[in-house]
Structure 1
Amino acid sequence: MGIVVDNLQRIREECEVLKMTDKQIKEIMCRLHNDLKKGLSRADHDKATVKCWITYIQDLPNGKERGKFLALDLGGTNFRVLIINLGENHFDMQSKIYAIPKHIMTGTGIALFDHIAECLANFMKEHGVYEERLALGFTFSFPLKQLGLTKGVLQRWTKGFSCSGVVGEDVVQGLKDAIARRGDVQIDICAILNDTTGTLMSCAWKNHNCKIGLIVGTGSNACYVEKTANCELFDGEPEKEELLINTEWGAFGDDGSLDFVRTEFDREVDVTSINPGKQIQEKMISGMYLGELVRLALVKFTRMGLLFGGQGSDLLFEGGSFYTKYVSEIESDKPGDFTSCMEVLEELGLSHASDADMAAVRYVCECVSRRAAHLVSAGIATLLNKMNEPRVTVGIDGSVYRFHPHFHTLMCEKIAQLVRPGLQFDLMLSEDGSGRGAALVAAVACREAEQGS
């Protein structure tokens, strides 16, 4: 029994590297604040790791948007087309998911946009709006430099895409050209945005205090409402005092500014990723990497003889085999109950795990996910302090926030410790943010155009 207790104690000591002190978190906030200022500044933008792209969205929904709108949500191996009918305090939404075959993800940009345009036309036929002229909001969840509400230049592909002839080009024009080549449907692309912006817009339609959008899913990013006077890269005459900024904060730390809290597990995840040295903060907090961080720690402790009697399994030693959903499942068990943990370990060929092993696995999961929640909280608190508004709602989407049993509570507790005295905040789960948000951006653009004409 003494050895078992000793092993668990040693694992706890080894996991200390995954805990950030209050002093370290304050330092992270200070560095992020400086990076946000660099991203917003004309002089430092090119060197900034946190790019703070201008979205050119200056109006949030006010509940008076009316009519039928299309939305296209492209952010991974599938994309969704939606039609939304906005009425007084209600909306009717129908959508369909379309796959993007592997050969199109790695083919030409023309083939990609032709495929999307064909699916758009088929969707309009199915929903009886083939003959109508509709406004469309386009959610495009890849790093984008926006030059206007309807102009966005792709900076680089991520998530397994490598379509040729698109990087450095305006993706709105690519889609417009594909629609024109068909010649059979009339679609006005009113806005391009990313999923973070869509989340903010979607939540703001219901809650007018929503001024921050956050994604904690496969990746991580945040956007927020900034004073236009602080946005030195804004092109043209600002009509409004406020402007939505897409931070692209997943890249925070790419210049080494998070190295003081990174561990050997973080470095291993980075080195073996498809984009070494990039998206460093994202690799510490998002669903694409959390499971792998846990796996690397478990492998180390097994090889040290502290776990599973030193006997691992082929699957445990295989990269990517410990899914992030396992972390959520294991932490969903009640204290002293290891039902989910046992199922996960059996799937990984570790049915010889003892209760003490399962307690240790759960502890590793808790350390990794708690650190992720604290890093996200440090970022949100930095934005809240920068905005310095009495009450702000944070609209949040993404599988990690949505499905992890303790993420919301961990964030509420940590942000409350980190915000300035007197500042109030709420965390709001987005319902279908990136799709509905895209349609709402189109609706707001149409509302503003009608008011201006």
Structure 2
Amino acid sequence: MPSKMTHQTNMVEKRLNSLQCELKDYEQVMQLMNENMKKGLKEQPDISADLKMYITYVRSLPNGSEVGKFLALDLGGTNLRVLLLELIDGQVLLKSSIYSIAENTMIGPGKELFSHIAACIQQFVEREGLENEDLPMGFTFSFPCKQFGLKKSHLVNWTKGFKCDGVEGEDIVTLLHNAIAEQKLLVRCVAVINDTVGAMVACAHLDQDCQIGIILGTGTNACYMENTTKIEKWREDNTIRQHGEGVIINTEWGAFGNNGCLDFITTEYDKAVDQMSKNPGEQIYEKMISGMYLGEVARQVLVKLIQDGILFKGHLSNRLRTPMAFYTKYLSEIESEEEHELDNLKQVLDELHVMEYSLTDCVIVRRVCEAVSTRAAYLAAAGVAALLERVEKSFVTIAVDGSLYRYHPTFHSKMTDMIGQLLPHRKFRLKLSNDGSGIGAALVAAISTQMTIATLA
């Protein structure tokens, strides 16, 4: 029996070997990330640079002095959120409502989508008795956009099930203002951001050390405060660049590795996930660390172990045979238990229609989950370490939001550990950002309004 157990353990570790990178590999990832960021900031961005390094035009972070009432929109899926943020003496009073977006609106004419958004705003301001107030608004629009100013942002392409005609390539603020004008609302959009910037700004309101924002959820992205002297492609007032002021850069780091630079750590499981995805050859880094794909990476490993006859006596259930059937939440559920506790793991196996399994099978499944999530956390940490090297602060808070980071029991500790190994003398902390998509947008509107008043004065 011990010899059989040893054989199984050896076979499992052999299958997992390619997922277990060494410190030097993560050091190389950090170096490659930094090189790609530098390329993306050049005056003529290098076509080999996967990171687009979009300038967000958010040049200030909140400092607690912001006052007033501000609206925010949060659109990034099948629900639209409208929020009212009131800032009084550093305190934040928040009200919000959620409005659903019907499937036919998600794929219909763009004009109808923005008319629906304006109608939701009207309902909200009437409910709050604000219809006669001229309110500035921030808009968290979590789709790929190219920014031309704080309130000028062109949609590059729809994602997340949206396919509205007449929006791609257009300025979403113009489309929104046209719809608002038809509703005869006094609301005006003064800033557009994505959820990553929102996470950073929301955290910075309470933590002046915050200089980096990360999303680790269904997808992944990162932003950070960059010195304008390092941005060769800066097209705004040259005085700002010469003075070395700050501006938030949206890295779009999910595309890191598209040029093949991560091939040295790409496994057969990653290649399988990439090929069965809707966008083969794209978002390589995201596919190795984000919630949309981690469960599928784990499933690929489990299937191989079953085919090897090492797991479940070689029996592959129809459910486990199905791509994307092993949800990333299973990793969090399984790893949140103590090793001797099996309630969550058994529930997962029941959902996967695995009828017969041994204690050894349970140990193997947990081991696979741990290997996949650990690599993801370490790869994310390597990206954060690259950002930390660019931020010229002695201590930096990294705002992190997203379901993967929020709910996985060891993601935070593993990221902290690897960043510490990569940058042993750097002082930092990872901090969960609450409701950045909503609060962050309203705060950017507040900053923008305050800067405008200061300029006029």
TM-score normalised by L of structure 2: 0.96
Matched, 1:431 2:434: yes
Q: Aligned in 2, Cα 1:31/1:341: closer, same or farther, shift over 3 Å?
A: same
Partners of 1:339 and 1:253 lie apart in 2 by 38
Give 2:455's aligned residue: 452
Give 1:58's aligned residue: 59
The answer on whether the counterparts of 1:54 and 1:233 sit within 8 Å (CA) in structure 2 is: no
String of CA shifts for 1:309-339, please: whole Å, max 9, x gaps.
Answer: 1112111111121111111000011022222
Give 2:187's aligned residue: 187
Give 1:440's aligned residue: 443
Partners of 2:324 and 2:215 lie apart in 1 by 22
Determine which of 373, 378, 400 is the counterpart of 2:377.
373
Q: Structure 1 counterpart of 2:349, which letter?
A: L
Q: What SS does the corresponding residue of 2:318 show, helix, strand or coil?
A: coil
Partners of 2:48 and 2:182 lie apart in 1 by 39
Q: What SS does the corresponding residue of 1:17 show, helix, strand or coil?
A: helix
Partners of 1:130 and 1:321 lie apart in 2 by 47
Matched, 1:138 2:139: yes
Q: What SS does the corresponding residue of 2:205 show, helix, strand or coil?
A: helix
Give 1:254's aligned residue: 258
Q: Structure 2 counterpart of 1:142, which letter?
A: F
The answer on whether the counterparts of 1:40 and 1:52 sit within 8 Å (CA) in structure 2 is: yes
Q: Aligned in 2, Cα 1:374/1:166: closer, same or farther, shift over 3 Å?
A: same
Give 2:295's aligned residue: 291
Matched, 1:395 2:395: no
Give 1:206's aligned residue: 206
Q: Structure 2 counterpart of 1:143, which letter?
A: P
Matched, 1:70 2:71: yes
Give 1:157's aligned residue: 158
Q: Structure 1 counterpart of 2:387, which letter?
A: L
The answer on whether the counterparts of 1:151 and 1:170 sit within 8 Å (CA) in structure 2 is: yes
1:142 shift after superposition: 1.2
Moved more, 228-237 or 67-76: 228-237
What pairs with 1:14-93 in structure 2 (closer than 5 Å)?
14-93=15-94
1:46 shift after superposition: 4.7
The answer on whether the counterparts of 1:75 and 1:140 sit within 8 Å (CA) in structure 2 is: yes
The answer on whether the counterparts of 2:43 and 2:234 sit within 8 Å (CA) in structure 1 is: no
Aligned identity (percent) is 47
Q: Structure 2 counterpart of 1:452, which letter?
A: T
RMSD over equivalenced CA pairs, Å: 1.3
String of CA shifts for 1:172-192, please: whole Å, max 9, x gaps.
Answer: 111111112222x11111100
What pairs with 1:263-412 in structure 2 (closer than 5 Å)?
263-412=267-416
Q: Structure 2 counterpart of 1:9, which letter?
A: N
Partners of 2:417 and 2:408 lie apart in 1 by 16
Partners of 2:135 and 2:434 lie apart in 1 by 23
Q: Aligned in 2, Cα 1:25/1:60: closer, same or farther, shift over 3 Å?
A: same
1:366 shift after superposition: 0.5
Partners of 1:17 and 1:344 lie apart in 2 by 25
Q: Structure 1 counterpart of 2:455, which letter?
A: G
Partners of 2:317 and 2:287 lie apart in 1 by 25
Which consecutive residues of structure 1, in runs of 5 or more, have no partner in the other structure?
Answer: none
Partners of 2:251 and 2:430 lie apart in 1 by 19
1:247 shift after superposition: 0.3
TM-score normalised by L of structure 1: 0.97
- After the TM superposition, list the runs of 4 or more consecutive aligned residues in structure 1 that deviate by more than 6 angstroms: none
The answer on whether the counterparts of 1:390 and 1:422 sit within 8 Å (CA) in structure 2 is: no
The answer on whether the counterparts of 1:66 and 1:88 sit within 8 Å (CA) in structure 2 is: yes
The answer on whether the counterparts of 2:56 and 2:150 sit within 8 Å (CA) in structure 1 is: yes
Q: Structure 2 counterpart of 1:141, which letter?
A: S
Partners of 1:266 and 1:102 lie apart in 2 by 32
Partners of 1:176 and 1:166 lie apart in 2 by 14
Partners of 1:320 and 1:422 lie apart in 2 by 40
